[in-house]
Amino acid sequence: MGDHSAIWNETQAKHARPRLAADRQVDVAVIGAGITGVSTALRLRRAGLTVALLERNRVADGDTGGTSAHVATQLDNRYSELASNLSSKDLRLLAQAARRSVSLIETLARDENIDCQFRRVPGFLYTAHS
C-alpha cells in the first residue's frame, strides 16, 4: 500500500496558531483538536465555561484528518460481537448513542455554518484495488 493522503489535508490552509506565551486560567483544558476535541470545546463554551483547546500540530491533523470523512453509526466491533460482553440494555444505549452522535455532528455543522457538505445517505460502498 502506498501513501493515502486525504485531499482535505492536502488542500487545507495551514494557519499557524500562536503558542501559549503565558499561563492561562481556564475552567477546562481540552487536549487534541480533532472532531471530538473541537466539538467538546465548543459545547463547553456554549455552556459558559472558559476553555483552552490545545493541539500539538494543526486542527484535525491526527486521526480526524486521516479518516474517510464520514460519520456513521457503525462501530469498529459488530454489535453481535459486543453482545457477549454487554447486556441488551447496554447494547440499546450504545446504538442510541451512536445515532445521537451523528445527529449532534449534523446540528453542529448546520448551526455553525460549517461548509463540510454534510448529508445523510442510506449507506456507503467502499472499493479497493491492489
CA distance 74 to 30: 26
Residues 7 and 29 in one domain: yes
pTM reported for the whole predicted model: 0.69
Report yes or no on 49 lying in a domain. Answer: yes
Residues 91 and 63 in one domain: no
CA distance 66 to 8: 9
Residues 62 and 75 in one domain: no
Residues 15 and 61 in one domain: yes
**Containing structural domain, residue 3:** 1-67
List the chain pLDDT tens, one digit each, 130 residues.
445 556 666 666 666 677 888 999 999 999 998 888 988 999 999 999 999 999 888 777 777 766 766 788 888 888 889 999 999 999 999 999 999 999 998 998 899 898 888 888 887 777 777 7
List phi, psi (to 5°) of 84.
Answer: -75, -20
